[in-house]
Amino acid sequence: SGVSAEAYGQWNKKGTFKPPVHHKTPEQRNRIIAKLSTSFMFVALDDKDKEIVIEAMKECSFPAKTEVIKQGADGSELFIVDTGILSCYKNIKGEEKHLKDYHPGEAFGELALLYNAPRAATIIAKTDSILWSLDRDTFNHIVKDAAVKRREKYEAFLSKIDLLADMDPYERSQLADAFITSKFNQGDYVIKEGEEGNNFYIIEEGEAIATKTIKKGHAPEQVKHYRHGDYFGELALLKNQPRAANVVASLPMKCVSLDRHSFKRLLGPVESILVRNAKKYEEIIASLV
Ligand code: 1OR
């Protein structure tokens, strides 16, 4: 009595769970920590949970051409790439299709654990590879809830964004792992013209305007208005150039953002759309001068 059902559930869950511990040298620990810090599913863990994950991980090596995961099989672990390159294939209507390659710092094999499903694709080592594996129990107790919640939370929002409409749903769901949320007050500068840029933004709530110096020595003029679902900040990342405009919150605003590295990795599939849309900026500016 006096203990809520929810609190009891938490205690019960953690109380019966004994995470595995695989001994590691300091050198191995450092390699895991480096990889976890770039792996979206793990960056948000607190220190205590991160430590449990580090202890539970197991080093395994796969020579080139060996199969790590077989489509249709039961899955009991997920993997993070330490060194090497691996290829992902999926049998779609009888045809074996190459979907993508995995590089150091990337994780795969999470789907079977997240959704209790058979392996959705086959993964084969392309070069000799060293991986870190994490068992299903540790994943379920420490990582899964937060990851499922994030993916579900953003699913509806992301599927309605024009830019992402044609993206593969699996790739879209991975965006949710990488998003960072930030809030702005009315009048806050999210981006300043001329500065170096490192983030890409999508508006979750609120509105913003873009202003740009069109005539030297004159005040910046409004060139765009952004609402829910609109994005900005892509140009500096696409072209490696300073910020081309200011973006100012015109209402209290909440955004999700990606840093340069995540942007390149996760929005690669829509880069041609971003580039095409960016050509419209020149028309807007031409109409103002
Ligand atoms: P898993 O546990 O199902 C195979 O084991 C892994 O391949 C899977 O987790 C993902 O980590 C990874 N569809 C399904 N699984 C994929 C995909 C994918 N890509 C990588 N995996 N698609 C590819 C999107 C470019 C959709 C294909 C229709």
Judged against a pLDDT cut of 70, whether residue 8 lies above it is answered with no
Residue 265 assigned to a binding site? no
The contacts of residue 142 (CB under 8 Å, 6+ apart) are 19, 45, 49, 52, 53
Helix (H, G, I), strand (E, B) or coil at 278: helix
- Asked whether 41 and 134 are in contact (CB, 8 A), the reply is no
Using pLDDT thresholds of 50, 70 and 90, give the confidence band for residue 244. very high
When mean pLDDT is compared over 33-42, 184-193, 216-225, the highest value belongs to 184-193
Judged against a pLDDT cut of 90, whether residue 243 lies above it is answered with yes
Higher-confidence residue of 287 and 193: namely 193
The best mutation among 108, 116, 139, 266 to test binding of ligand 1, ranked by most ligand atoms within 8 Å of the C-beta, falls on 108
Q: What is the DSSP letter of 62?
A: E
First-to-last alpha carbon distance for the chain, in angstroms, is 73
For tokens 């024009």, name the residue.
Answer: 162
Check residue 238 and give its pLDDT.
Answer: 94
For 126, phi then psi, to 5°, come to -90, -35
Average pLDDT, the chain: 91
The best mutation among 103, 111, 167 to test binding of ligand 1, ranked by most ligand atoms within 8 Å of the C-beta, falls on 111
Check residue 1 and give its pLDDT.
Answer: 40
Among residues 42, 101, 111, 125, the alpha carbon closest in space to that of 77 is found at: 111
Using pLDDT thresholds of 50, 70 and 90, give the confidence band for residue 14. low
Check residue 121 and give its pLDDT.
Answer: 97
| pLDDT over 90, % of the chain | 71
| CA distance linking residue 33 with residue 250, whole number of Å | 40
Check residue 4 and give its pLDDT.
Answer: 47
Helix (H, G, I), strand (E, B) or coil at 41: helix
Check residue 15 and give its pLDDT.
Answer: 64
Q: Residue range 73-83: average pLDDT?
A: 96
Residue 30 C-alpha to ligand 1 middle, in angstroms? 28
Extents of the domains making up the chain: 5-147, 179-288
Residue 110 C-alpha to ligand 1 middle, in angstroms? 9
Among residues 255, 265, 285, 253, the alpha carbon closest in space to that of 161 is found at: 255
Q: Residue range 26-42: average pLDDT?
A: 89
Query: Identity (one letter) of the amino acid at 111?
Result: L
Q: Do domains 5-147 and 179-288 have the same CATH topology?
A: yes
Among residues 148, 71, 72, 75, the alpha carbon closest in space to that of 113 is found at: 75
Judged against a pLDDT cut of 60, whether residue 273 lies above it is answered with yes
Judged against a pLDDT cut of 90, whether residue 230 lies above it is answered with yes
Judged against a pLDDT cut of 50, whether residue 9 lies above it is answered with no
In DSSP terms, 90 is beta-bridged to: 97
Residue 234 assigned to a binding site? yes
Residue 193 C-alpha to ligand 1 middle, in angstroms? 39
Pick the atom of ligand 1 nearest to 119's CA. Answer: 3
Residue 208 C-alpha to ligand 1 middle, in angstroms? 36
Residue 120 C-alpha to ligand 1 middle, in angstroms? 5
Judged against a pLDDT cut of 50, whether residue 102 lies above it is answered with yes
| pLDDT over 70, % of the chain | 95
Judged against a pLDDT cut of 90, whether residue 183 lies above it is answered with yes
| CA distance linking residue 109 with residue 75, whole number of Å | 8
Q: Whose CA is nearest to atom 26 of ligand 1?
A: 170
Residue 121 C-alpha to ligand 1 middle, in angstroms? 5
Q: Residue range 116-135: average pLDDT?
A: 97
Q: What CATH homologous superfamily does 5-147 map to? A: Jelly Rolls (2.60.120.10)
Q: What is the DSSP letter of 144?
A: I
Residues with CB under 6 A from ligand 1: 69, 75, 88, 90, 99-100, 108-112, 119-121, 123, 168, 170-171
Q: How many residues does the chain have?
A: 289
Select 179-288's CATH number: 2.60.120.10, 2.60.40.10, 3.30.930.10, 3.30.450.20.
Answer: 2.60.120.10
Residue 172 assigned to a binding site? no
Residue 119 assigned to a binding site? yes
Pick the atom of ligand 1 nearest to 108's CA. Answer: 11
pLDDT digits (tens, 9 = 90+) for 46-68: 899 999 999 999 999 999 999 99
- Asked whether 71 and 124 are in contact (CB, 8 A), the reply is no
Judged against a pLDDT cut of 90, whether residue 42 lies above it is answered with no
Pick the atom of ligand 1 nearest to 168's CA. Answer: 24
Pick the atom of ligand 1 nearest to 78's CA. Answer: 2
Q: Name the packing angle between helices 26-36 and 47-56 (round to 10°).
A: 120
Q: What is the pTM of this model?
A: 0.82
pLDDT digits (tens, 9 = 90+) for 248-269: 999 999 999 999 989 998 998 8
In DSSP terms, 98 is beta-bridged to: 89
In DSSP terms, 129 is beta-bridged to: 62
Check residue 3 and give its pLDDT.
Answer: 46
Judged against a pLDDT cut of 60, whether residue 5 lies above it is answered with no
- Asked whether 93 and 160 are in contact (CB, 8 A), the reply is no
Residue 90 C-alpha to ligand 1 middle, in angstroms? 8
Cβ count near 250 (within 10 Å): 16
| CA distance linking residue 248 with residue 201, whole number of Å | 12
Check residue 284 and give its pLDDT.
Answer: 82
Helix (H, G, I), strand (E, B) or coil at 35: helix
Judged against a pLDDT cut of 70, whether residue 26 lies above it is answered with yes
